[in-house]
Amino acid sequence: MTTRIGVISSGRGENTRYIIEACRSGYIPAEVAVVLADQEDAGALRIARSYGINASFIDPSGLSRLEYDALLAEQLDGEGVDLVVLTGYMRILSPEFVRRYKNRTINIHPALLPAFRGMDAFQQALDYGVKVTGTTVHLVDEEVDHGPIILQVPVEVRDDDTHERLKARVQEAEYRAYPEALKLFIEGRPKVVGRRVVFEGADGGGR
């Protein structure tokens, strides 16, 4: 049975594009059933519609976090979604939403967690002076940028890096990492062990 993915996004949607294409090619044994966004002009909505995928703007105006997440859940459940995938989603999910989709909500963060949680991880890496940063695909829990790690991909920080140069290279790593992590998660019989997701017959969650 094909896994049905529901994407929630706020931004440009390039990770959404790579996930859709990986599903359409058969690399990920899944289909993107619906794309939802809290921004009416989110690129993820335009990209999804270009592939003929149901895409909806859900207006958060005047709603509490709990009320808004209930609308998201109604849409996701209506589409029979098995796995929730966040791509540049800028709102914090309510504990109720996280519990509803426990171990079924996946996010990507542009750093090697637990380092550089929160906003602008690129600048955090530059300010701290690290030689390596990267990207982390992880399950969502009730803390921000915290859940069990599925996959991490390192990216070198170069001496002449600017914010934009580093961001561009980390994003390129994201475009490879997210489809790979979703394929691994769907095919690999995942099990949460502490702060990592491990897979039957694999060492779990890294390269």
Of 98, 87, 107, 96, which Cα lies nearest the Cα of 39?
A: 87
> Which residue in this structure is represented by tokens 């049975």?
1
Active-site positions read 109
- Cα dist from 202 to 15, 29, 187, whole Å: 25, 19, 12
- Cα dist from 119 to 111, 160, 176, whole Å: 11, 22, 22
